[in-house]
Amino acid sequence: MAEVRPFRGLRYASNTDTRLGDLVCPPYDVISPTERQTLAGRSPYNAVHLELPEGDSDERYAGAARHLAKWRAEGVLAVDDRPSYYVVRHRFTHLNVQWERWELTALVRLEEFERRVVLPHEETTSGPKADRLRLMEACHANLSPVMCAYQDPERLIRSGMERVMGTTPDTVAENGDGSQMAQWVVDASDLDGAVQSVLADAPLFIADGHHRYETAIRYRDLARQKAVTWQEQDAFNYAMVTLIDFDDPGLLVLPYHRTLGHMDPPTLTAVRNKLLEVFQIQFFETQPTTPRALEEAVVRDGKGTSLGLLGPDGEGPYLLTLKGAASEGGLRESEGWVLHQEVLELVLGGALADYITYAHNPDDAWESVVESREQMAFFLKSFPMDLFQAVVSAGQRLPPKSTFFHPKLPTGMVFNLLEGEV
């Protein structure tokens, strides 16, 4: 189903004096102003100058393009000689546990979602897509990859990656948080057999990067309109995608929590009443007194579709359990879906975005309520991958921020130029 192929990536040259760990950056949507300043200070060649150019005017996009052109001219960035797959062994720590995730970056032919080749799981918004499109039009490149998951029950791709990892990596990026990304630039012939065998008949599930994928489709459509003629092998018909096996032991999915604020008393009462209608509400067997303890208590004590609630001024916390049986394999097994569709959307309607915020860090959600900046915090479980595959395969969309694949893919391990043919 999916057309996956190697490409000639644009990478930081091996003779660059700066460590690769000081050149890569997180994706644009998780970089705070403070973190951007820190990243920019690490090196004038840090990828944040491309991924999240400084300023509020449209000039920032032209600035990113100038950086990209200058770095290429200076030899800081160089295009690989031959089409390659880019294999990464990503080691990281979460809650004092060591994890290792294997990633394969390649090009994937862009397909409309209706064709069911690349499967989305959440809706997008116009603002981020407009921003990413302006950046793509200025730089003519995929600066950061879309993350997709795939099924490989016979572990053919993983076996090929394992052979590759028996050799010395081409580059290694070490970050201050202790994570390490070792990258191998792999000749197409070494992995192409396994890649084509597994992915020719399998869909790809977007895990992270919906806005980037939809923006790439828009960029492609505009490029086709501008071209006198175009060919199927033109680079703009493809997007850079990092592929991860659903069965990879390092595919870590964390919960995304929700907070509600700025509700007047009648609205707050209406939300409370709807929660009482949909959920059974009770105290925990042992009341958690910290954010992490609340996360753990929801998993430990929650039966079926259940979540934690911290009420105004730190009231509770409570365990909320869905009344009635959840449909097996259906969206009512998803705490986030039930909360949005059966409570928040019904009470707050189209104004929901004015009241809700999302936090993958439980400390942020907890503190915002205890300090009275928000009125309620909902602590969700991680979205199960078997349910994720089932509902996405059925063509259903999840509420925003239903999944948090940790860690995010960095920008700067490899770039993809949208010039000429692949």
Q: Is residue 392, in this structure, part of any structural domain at all? A: no
Residues 55 and 196 placed together within one structural domain of the fold: yes
In a domain, 398, yes or no: no
Q: Which pLDDT does position 328 carry in this prediction?
A: 58
pTM for this structure?
0.94
* Same-domain check for residues 239 and 299: no
- Host domain of residue 62: 4-252+406-417
Same domain, 356 and 329: yes
Whether residue 297 sits in one domain with residue 238: no
Residue 390: inside a domain, yes or no?
no
Asked whether residue 387 is assigned to any structural domain, the reply reads no
174 and 211, same structural domain?
A: yes
> Measured between alpha carbons, how far is 276 from 74 in angstroms, rounded to an integer?
63
Examine residue 178 and state whether it is found in any structural domain, yes or no: yes
| Domain shared by 175 and 80, yes or no | yes
List the pLDDT tens digit at each of the 422 positions of the chain.
Answer: 899 999 999 999 987 778 999 999 999 999 999 999 999 999 999 999 999 999 888 999 999 999 999 999 999 999 999 999 999 999 999 999 999 999 999 999 999 999 999 999 998 889 999 999 999 999 999 999 999 999 999 999 999 999 999 999 999 999 878 899 999 999 999 999 999 999 988 999 999 999 999 999 999 999 999 998 999 999 999 999 999 999 999 999 999 999 999 999 999 999 999 999 999 999 999 999 999 999 999 999 999 999 999 999 889 999 999 998 665 567 888 999 999 999 999 999 999 999 999 999 999 999 999 999 999 999 999 999 999 999 999 999 998 889 999 999 999 999 999 999 99
Specify whether 120 is located in the same domain as 218. yes
Q: 321 near 305, Cβ under 8 Å?
A: yes
CB 63 within 8 A of CB 54: yes
pLDDT of residue 177: 80
Q: Is residue 400 part of a domain?
A: no
Q: Which amino acid is at 230?
A: W
- The pLDDT assigned to 144 comes to 97
Task: Tally the domains of the chain.
Answer: 2
Same domain flag for 134 and 46: yes
In which element (H, E) is residue 127 found? helix 126-139
What pLDDT does 329 receive? 61
Rg value, the chain, Cα: 22
Instruction: Find the helix packing angle between 156-164 and 188-199, rounded to 10°.
Output: 160
- So what's the pLDDT on residue 46? 97
Is residue 90 within 8 Å of residue 102, measured between CB atoms? yes
Are 386 and 259 spatial neighbours (Cβ–Cβ below 8 Å)?
no
Task: Report the distance separating Cα 129 and Cα 299, nearest Å.
Answer: 35
Looking at the structure, tell me whether residues 19 and 142 fall in a common domain.
yes
422 inside domain: no
In a domain, 352, yes or no: yes
User: Looking at the structure, do residues 343 and 274 belong to the same domain, yes or no?
Assistant: yes
CA distance 322 to 279: 5
- Are both 95 and 185 inside the same structural domain? yes
Residue of 400, 390, 378 lying closest to 258 (CA atoms): 378
CATH number where 351 lies: 3.30.1760
Tell me if the bond preceding 27 is cis, omega within 30° of 0: no
Residues 269 and 310 in one domain: yes
- CATH number for the domain spanning 113: value is 3.90.1530.10
